[in-house]
Each structure stands twice: as structure tokens, then as C-alpha cells.
Chain A
Amino acid sequence: MSGQRVDVKVVMLGKESVGKTSLVERYVHHRFLQGPYQNTIGAAFVAKTMYVEGRSLTLGIWDTAGSERYEAMSRIYYRGAKAAIVCYDLTDASSFERVKFWVNELQNFEEHCRIYICGTKSDLLENDKSLRQVDFHDVQDYAEEIKAHVCETSSKTGQSVDELFQKVAEDYVNFNSMQGPTEAKGVDLNQKQNSTLYSCCHH
């Protein structure tokens, strides 16, 4: 539902077809839709209210397409995001290379955005470990370096999906209560305006 207050902006990033839409679908609608791949066009927004430590919190989730076509415009989707879930497909090494691209973007433009690196489709590895193309420890080393959280999920079975979004919400609450006053003053647009005003008067 729109028009409602959104507390936390969360953005899904990653190469096409790694499973971003499925992850949101599983989390929001508790289902997994099989069938031919339907790539996301532009981006889709969905709001979901959850409870963290007895407090209700609304996540505004932006599911992006991940296509190169609108790469230049992708900033509108992640601007101001408090959390980014950057996905790669555990069975596709090239998708992990794209993770690094998005992490760079975020580090350059959204330094306050917390990063969650998510390996998807873990169910595919259950029967056949040889399908894994991205080593867990490599990801962990990388995540440590960039101070990101890591997880492996399956939208098909639901494994670790709720936990991931729960973690996003909890981190926000904890980070927020720690930051408290600074966060409240967050909008520095006004500040700037005031100071300009001040300098104007001064002259």
C-alpha cells in the first residue's frame, strides 16, 4: 500500500535473473512463482510492515531490474536507502562480479547505506554441491572488507529469507537508537538553507 509512512528504504540490487524479485515475493507474499522468467521492468515498489522489538516498522522495498539500460538512472532507486540487499546467484560466478559493481556504487554515493550480500538459490546446491560457483569464504572475506553482512537464501524453500529482512529491520532499529539525535537532524537540506539565510543577513 502506498501513501503510508515508510520508515526504512531498502533496495534490491544485482544482476538480472539472480532472484531479486523472487526474494521479495517470498518475503512479502510467502510464495514462489515458477514459470518462465519475467524480468522486472524499471523497478517495483512494495511496502511491508513488520515488528521489531515490539515496535512496528515499515520497510519500503525497491526491487530493481538490474538491466544495464537504466543503470545511469539506478540512483533514483537507491538514493537515501538505509539498506541494500545485493544479490548474486550461488551457481553463477559472473553474478558475483556484478555485486562488486553495486557495492562500489553504494560506497561512492550512499555511504550510510548498510550492505547485505545475499547468495541466492541455495536450494539448487542441496542435491548437487558441484553447482556452487562462488565460494562462501571468498564472499565472507570480501564482506568483511566492506563491512557487509552475508547470507545464503532460497526463495524456493524460503530458507533464511525472513531472517534476512528481520536482520535488516533490527539493524536499522539498533543503528537508529544508537545514532538517535544525529539521525533526527538527518535532513541537512534545511540546515544549508538556514546557513545561507544567515550569511545573507550577515552581508
Chain B
Amino acid sequence: MSQSEATISTGTLSLPENQDSQRSASPAPTLIQGTEPGASQDEAMFVHAQSYEDLTGEEEGAVPGSPGVEGAVESSSMEQISEDFSKLSTKLSSSDQETQNSEVRTDLGRRESIRSTGQEENEEGGLRALEAWYNHQKHVFVLSEAGKPIYSRYHSEEALSSISGVMMALVSFLETEKNAIRSIHADAYKVVFVRRSPLVLVSVSHTRQSEQEIAQELLYVYYQILSLLTGTQLHHLFQQRPSYDLRRLLSGSERITDSLLDLMDIDPSFLLGAVRCLPIVSGARDASSSCLQQAKAKSLVFSILMSRNQLISLVRRKEHYLHHIDLHLLFNLVTSSSSFKEGEAWTPVCLPKFNSSGFFHAHISYLSHDPELCLLLISTDREDFFTVSDCKRRIVERMEKRGCWGSLREALRSPFYSVAQVDIPELRHFLYKSKSSGLFTCPAMDVPYDTDEERRRLLALYQYLHSKAHCSSHHLTTIYHMGTNENILTWVTDAFELYVCFSPLATKSIATTGVSRLLRWIRKEEDRLFILSSPTY
């Protein structure tokens, strides 16, 4: 792989200067937050959030500077850890015992022989399962601080219980402070630990993601668990009994967490810490917002119209802002389960970033199945089902009366625009996040990113560049990444984040002109691509 990168710390990109300070047609690098394309014209809809804020935030009590510091452990300890880690990997492979010696290719890139004692018939399946287990790119485990297994991605419960001891040994060995993040690099592997008392979250993966990014994903899993139980209940359970087995309480929810992890592998929302909007003509969006707005009830805090992880409208109670993490969790809850498709669901849900101490009640119903359109009404009162259900009825009635369906349906049928619409030479794909609104937009992943593998590869590249851009202390960063398959220009300012993917034929100057044309295009289309107002009831 021949790649080269140039990191330019200040706006070497020559973009046309613009005097019009308000909502300029092509934003200059000095653009202040709140005037970039996609910025909300009134208040923002979301709580303002920064990258990795949870990892560095005071409130969570993390140690400044500690997150994911490579080599945070002394080198003598490092040897010990490597030793433990190889023990861990042998432990992993012997967790499933077989009769014959057989070779298994492990992700660790070496061959290991396994001595086994099981029965003939189980052997094949067991081995295949084991191999499959190794071939996953990212394993995620959740344990209690007492070392009890709680969750394992890919549901290798047995493997989990046999390694949890080792994991815990590692954790206690690594542990210095609560809430700290630690990582180990062994072979091609990265092991990242995040401790959020009373839980320990571990990721074992081989990716190019940075520790911070992996830790951020682990935090999402932590928040996912909070959203099922509330933080208060979680702490209470473990305070009463440190050896508590949480699996019983979480039973049936594994699918939600699995789906969250799968989504994080393919959806840039999590990487960007932003919400994706469904592109729709602004008139239609406003109309549906006002339908939500008019159906108010005392207990309602948020009314959300969404389709397949894309936001259409959000109406909130004055003074109340949703956090994008909470919205991502709600999106995932809805899309991970087909159980909401019939009738009206009424389910307790904790929005951990909003308030981790209690439950809201979510009224979830599909207004349309094909194309998918889902309404979420978040209420503070669990006894208020019928009032909220009546709000839903009023919303549907009003949407019919105002004739919202036609344009909504049309927008839902083509949830992604093609990059060809932007009409810029060599442009293949991009991600654009408006920092002040917490929203982002991107076109469909067309050829050559139309296979799962290529999609993942592109997202992995974005992840890699994202971490590069964010580890620098500069406010203004541009990175030009040249690879064999594509060139990506990364541009992070106070106001926006932009990742633009060009074909490898694009020269730097093509890319630079392309980017400024792209920004002009986004500005021109902003009322379709973004939600520019933040309505309240």
C-alpha cells in the first residue's frame, strides 16, 4: 500500500475569501461556529458536544491525559501483559475442547493446534464456531468489576466466562484510576479497556481505529446498558451485591446491543457524533414538524419523526435539549427490533445523557411500513399512555389533512442522494458535519463503494483520518491522504468537519477546488439536507 499524507496545520487550502459574514456562499476557514452550512438558524436542537468529550470530560471523572495513552504502562509491565495476553489467547482457543488435533487459523495470524476431547458429531460444528469466533474483527465484552460476565458480542458465553478471569486480572493490573481507559497492543491486536464503575468494557479488535474511537464505542455500549436499566438501578444493584449477575436482567436485550455494535461498524453517525437527517424539501419538513408541534401534552418532552436511522423532524420542550448519543440509542432501539411494527409500543427507556437516574416512557409506532416512517413520543409519565396515544392520532390526522404524505413518501423512497448530483470531477463520497447543529449529511455510497467490504474499508479510512485530525491540538486541521484506491481530504475547523473522498486520479489542486465547490453546493442545498430550525411545543 502506497500512501502518503500531508498534515497542514493552518488553512493552506486556498479557498475564495468571503466578505459576507452571515451565511456566506462558500465558507472560509475562519468561519465562526453557527454560520457554517447546516447551522441552525435559531437555537440548536442538540446539546453541544465535542469529540471524545465523554472520554475527557470532568464530569465522568476521567483522568486528564489518560485516555488511551499508548504505552501508559511501563515497559516492564508491558512484557507481563504480553505474556498474559498470549495466555489469554490460548485460553480462548481451548475453551472449546475437541478430540483430535486440528489446526485453526486464528486472527492472531498464527496457527495453533488444539487438543480436544469432545464427541465426533460436535467436533465439526464446534470447530467451525470457534473459527468463526476468531474471524470476527471486533469482539466486545462487558464484565462486572467482580469479573462476572455480562455481555459478549457474538454470544460466546463460554469463551467469555473462561477468559473473564484473565480479563479481570489484566484490568486490575492495569487499573490505576476509575473511569480510565487503557489499551494493550499485542500482535495485530488492540485491547481497549474502559472502566465505568460498576462495569468494565473490553474490546479486542484489529482495526486502524484509535483507542479513543474504540473507547467511544465501548461507552456507547455502556450507555446502551444504562438506557435499559438507568444508572441509578445499575449502581444500586452492584452496591447491594458486588457479585450480582446482571445477565438475567438484560436478557432479551442482547439483540439491541448487537445491533448497536453492527451499526457502529457501518454508520458514520457514531464516528462524527452527529445525527443524519433525511433529505427532504424544507416545506415538507416544516409541515411535518408543525404537525408534531401542535400535538402537545403535558408529559411530552420530545416528539421525533424518523426513518431508518435518519431524522426527519424533532420537536422538543423548551429548555430541553436532546443529546445525540441519546438519539442514536433511540434510533438503534427502533431499528433493531421488529416488535414495534405492530400496534403501539409503550416502553420504559432511560436517556442516559439527558438524565441517567430515571426512565422516560417511549410511545413508538410506525405510521407507514413501506416506506418506513416511525414516530417516537417521549413522555415523562408512565401512566400517560392514552394521552400520548391520542397525540399520535392527532399527528396522523393533521398530516393527512395537510397532505404531508405525498412529499414525505417521495423523500422516504430516496433517502440518499447520489454524489453525481453534486457534479464535481473525481468526487466519490463525502461526510459533512455542521458542528453547531450536530447534524451531518453524506451521499449514498455508490460505485465503487457498493459492496459491504468496500463500505467498511471507506468507513475505516474515515475513522482513521478522524482520529488523526482529532489528536492534533490545532483548531484547524487539513489532512490530504493519498492512497492507492482513493484520496481523501480531511478538513476540520471550529465550525465544521469535512471528509471528502476523491478518486486516486484527483490531484491536490482538483481536490482543493472540488472542496470549495462542494461547500457551496452544501450551502445551496442546506435547507433540504439539514434541519435549520429547532421547533419547540
Footprint of B on A, CB under 8 Å? 1-3, 16, 21, 25, 28-29, 38-46, 63, 65, 67-70, 73, 76
Question: Would you call B347 an interface residue if the criterion is a C-beta within 8 Å of the partner chain's C-beta atoms?
Answer: yes
Question: Would you call B248 an interface residue if the criterion is a C-beta within 8 Å of the partner chain's C-beta atoms?
Answer: yes
Chain B residue, CB-CB nearest to A44? B343
Measured CB to CB, the closest approach of chain A to B117, in angstroms, equals: 31
A68 adjacent to B249 (CB under 8 Å): yes
- Cβ-defined partner of A68 (8 Å) among B251, B343, B349: B251
B343 adjacent to A38 (CB under 8 Å): no
In the complex, chain B residues whose CB is within 8 Å of the CB of A44: 339-340, 342-346
In the complex, chain A residues whose CB is within 8 Å of the CB of B343: 44-46, 63
Q: A3-B393, A45-B343, A73-B359 are in contact. List 12 more A-B contacts (CB 8 A).
A: A2-B344, A2-B390, A25-B342, A41-B256, A41-B345, A43-B345, A44-B343, A45-B345, A68-B251, A69-B228, A70-B348, A73-B348
Question: Would you call B58 an interface residue if the criterion is a C-beta within 8 Å of the partner chain's C-beta atoms?
Answer: no
Measured CB to CB, the closest approach of chain A to B206, in angstroms, equals: 29
In the complex, chain A residues whose CB is within 8 Å of the CB of B347: 41-43
Question: Would you call B389 an interface residue if the criterion is a C-beta within 8 Å of the partner chain's C-beta atoms?
Answer: yes
Measured CB to CB, the closest approach of chain B to A104, in angstroms, equals: 19
Question: Would you call B298 an interface residue if the criterion is a C-beta within 8 Å of the partner chain's C-beta atoms?
Answer: no
Measured CB to CB, the closest approach of chain B to A150, in angstroms, equals: 27
Footprint of A on B, CB under 8 Å? 228-229, 248-253, 255-256, 333, 337-340, 342-349, 359, 362, 382-383, 385-386, 389-390, 392-394
Measured CB to CB, the closest approach of chain A to B389, in angstroms, equals: 4
A41 adjacent to B249 (CB under 8 Å): no
From known contacts A65-B252, A68-B248, infer whether A46 and B390 are also in contact, taking CB-CB under 8 Å: no
- Pick from B248, B252, B343, B349 the residue with the most CB of A within 10 Å: B343
Assembly CA distance A38 to B253 (angstroms): 10
Chain B residue, CB-CB nearest to A25? B342
B390 adjacent to A67 (CB under 8 Å): no
From known contacts A3-B393, A16-B251, infer whether A46 and B345 are also in contact, taking CB-CB under 8 Å: no
Closest 7 CB pairs of A and B: A42-B347, A46-B343, A2-B389, A3-B393, A39-B252, A44-B343, A45-B344
Chosen A-B contacts, 11 in total, with CB atoms closer than 8 Å, are A1-B393, A2-B390, A3-B390, A3-B393, A25-B342, A41-B333, A42-B345, A43-B346, A67-B253, A68-B248, A69-B253
In the complex, chain B residues whose CB is within 8 Å of the CB of A41: 252, 256, 333, 337, 339-340, 345, 347
- Cβ-defined partner of B342 (8 Å) among A29, A42, A68, A70: A29
From known contacts A43-B345, A45-B385, infer whether A67 and B393 are also in contact, taking CB-CB under 8 Å: no
- Cβ-defined partner of A69 (8 Å) among B229, B339, B386, B393: B229
Assembly CA distance A198 to B286 (angstroms): 52
B346 adjacent to A42 (CB under 8 Å): yes
Measured CB to CB, the closest approach of chain B to A47, in angstroms, equals: 8
A38 adjacent to B383 (CB under 8 Å): no
- Cβ-defined partner of B348 (8 Å) among A16, A29, A40, A42: A42
Assembly CA distance A69 to B246 (angstroms): 10
In the complex, chain B residues whose CB is within 8 Å of the CB of A42: 345-349, 362
Measured CB to CB, the closest approach of chain B to A61, in angstroms, equals: 8
In the complex, chain A residues whose CB is within 8 Å of the CB of B339: 21, 38-41, 44
In the complex, chain A residues whose CB is within 8 Å of the CB of B359: 73
B252 adjacent to A2 (CB under 8 Å): no
Assembly CA distance A16 to B343 (angstroms): 19
Measured CB to CB, the closest approach of chain A to B446, in angstroms, equals: 31
Assembly CA distance A15 to B383 (angstroms): 23
Assembly CA distance A67 to B252 (angstroms): 7
- Pick from A1, A2, A65, A73 the residue with the most CB of B within 10 Å: A2
Measured CB to CB, the closest approach of chain B to A122, in angstroms, equals: 23
Chain B residue, CB-CB nearest to A77? B346
Chain A residue, CB-CB nearest to B389? A2
- Pick from B249, B346, B386 the residue with the most CB of A within 10 Å: B346
In the complex, chain A residues whose CB is within 8 Å of the CB of B342: 25, 28-29, 44, 46
Measured CB to CB, the closest approach of chain A to B295, in angstroms, equals: 11
A16 adjacent to B346 (CB under 8 Å): no
Assembly CA distance A84 to B368 (angstroms): 31
Chain A residue, CB-CB nearest to B254? A39
Chain A residue, CB-CB nearest to B338? A38
B252 adjacent to A76 (CB under 8 Å): no
- Pick from A42, A65, A73 the residue with the most CB of B within 10 Å: A42
In the complex, chain B residues whose CB is within 8 Å of the CB of A16: 251-252
Measured CB to CB, the closest approach of chain A to B470, in angstroms, equals: 35
Assembly CA distance A28 to B343 (angstroms): 10
Measured CB to CB, the closest approach of chain B to A128, in angstroms, equals: 22
A76 adjacent to B344 (CB under 8 Å): no
Assembly CA distance A38 to B343 (angstroms): 15
In the complex, chain B residues whose CB is within 8 Å of the CB of A63: 343
B346 adjacent to A38 (CB under 8 Å): no
Assembly CA distance A67 to B254 (angstroms): 13
Assembly CA distance A48 to B362 (angstroms): 22
Measured CB to CB, the closest approach of chain B to A5, in angstroms, equals: 10
In the complex, chain B residues whose CB is within 8 Å of the CB of A76: 382-383, 385
- Cβ-defined partner of A38 (8 Å) among B251, B337, B349, B362: B337
Assembly CA distance A43 to B345 (angstroms): 6
